[in-house]
């Protein structure tokens, strides 16, 4: 999908509803639980936090202040409307309307969060650029925390989107909209970018319902991956 049509799609979603996406409670739980409890010695006070695809700011709104004590937070999103809502919902945090693939920063981050953005990068080159950015933007020993969609065992069409087995993408109106990868590929990608796995969780039966009009999951809905990886020092 071209960058402009992807932006239009998300702008429309955020224009029509006050908050089109349920706050990713599972990722908030992961951040408050695993990240905070298991890795609290690694997380400094006042960490620099980047959230990729922050949408309307639902994740940072839900994270108790004590988790990232006085964090220096920046949320970025492709959609202008999403960023407008994020600023309104979270006036004390910083937001920027930019595509992660074009994002530049002279300073690195202690923590990078991605809640449901990565799977919208439907082209292999985009994902390569994304991981190279994540790796460059993370400080040594910095954490990347992601919740994303995985290819289910019985991949196939869902109600309104067809599944293209060649590209592993859901296709809507002739456009690739969501990419689904296998868990083992994430392990390979993390290792390729010197990101050491701290936590890798893809529980059997945990499904994304990838169409907002449904409340019940289908067997062909994507599985869930939650991962925390640490950038190796000196890389």
Ligand X SMILES: C[S@@+](CC[C@H](N)C(=O)[O-])C[C@H]1O[C@@H](n2cnc3c(N)ncnc32)[C@H](O)[C@@H]1O
User: What does the binding site for ligand X look like in residue numbers (CB under 6 A)?
Assistant: 10, 21, 23-24, 53-55, 58-59, 76-79, 82, 99-101, 115-117, 120
CB of 161 to ligand X, least distance (A): 15
Contact 44, 141 (CB under 8 A): no
Q: Is 11 exposed, middle or buried (0-12, 13-18, 19+ CB in 10 A)?
A: middle
Sequence-distant (6+) residues with CB within 8 A of 5 are 175
Environment class of 183 (CB within 10 Å of its CB; exposed 0-12, middle 13-18, buried 19+):
middle
Q: How far is the CB of 125 from ligand X (least distance, A)?
A: 12
Query: What is the rounded distance in angstroms from the CA atom of residue 162 to the CA atom of residue 172?
Result: 7
Question: In the bound complex, what is the minimum distance in angstroms from residue 95's beta carbon to ligand X?
Answer: 11
Residue 10 three-state SS: helix
Question: 58 or 228: whose CB is closer to ligand X?
Answer: 58
- Toward ligand X, which CB reaches closer, 162 or 212? 212
Tell me whether residue 21 or residue 200 sits nearer to ligand X (CB atom): 21
Q: How far is the CB of 58 from ligand X (least distance, A)?
A: 4
C-beta of residue 42 within 8 angstroms of C-beta of residue 230: yes
Angle between helices 3-16 and 80-89 (to 10 degrees): 40
In the bound state with ligand X, the residue whose beta carbon lies nearer, of 8 and 140, is 8
Closer Cβ to ligand X, 10 or 95, answer by number: 10
Tokens of 228: 């925390």
Instruction: Quote the least distance from Cβ 108 to ligand X, whole Å.
Output: 18
């Amino acid at each position: 999908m071209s960058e402009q049509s992807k932006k239009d799609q998300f702008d429309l979603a955020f224009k029509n509803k006050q908050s089109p996406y349920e706050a990713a409670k599972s990722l908030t739980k992961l951040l408050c639980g695993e990240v905070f409890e298991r890795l609290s010695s690694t997380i400094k006070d006042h960490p620099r936090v980047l959230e990729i695809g922050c949408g309307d700011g639902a994740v940072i709104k839900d994270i108790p202040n004590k988790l990232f004590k006085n964090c220096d937070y920046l949320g970025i999103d492709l959609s202008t409307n999403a960023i407008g809502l994020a600023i309104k919902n979270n006036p004390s945090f910083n937001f920027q309307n930019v595509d992660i693939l074009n994002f530049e920063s002279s300073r690195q981050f202690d923590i990078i969060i991605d809640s449901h953005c990565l799977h919208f990068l439907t082209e292999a080159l985009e994902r390569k650029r994304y991981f190279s950015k994540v790796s460059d933007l993370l400080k040594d020993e910095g954490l990347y925390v992601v919740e994303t969609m995985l290819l289910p065992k019985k991949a196939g069409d869902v109600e309104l989107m067809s599944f293209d087995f060649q590209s592993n993408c859901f296709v809507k109106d002739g456009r690739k909209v969501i990419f689904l990868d296998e868990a083992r590929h994430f392990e390979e990608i993390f290792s390729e970018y010197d990101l050491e796995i701290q936590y890798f969780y893809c529980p059997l039966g945990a499904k994304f319902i990838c169409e907002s009009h449904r409340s019940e999951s289908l067997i062909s809905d994507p599985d869930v991956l939650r991962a925390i990886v640490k950038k190796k020092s000196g890389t």
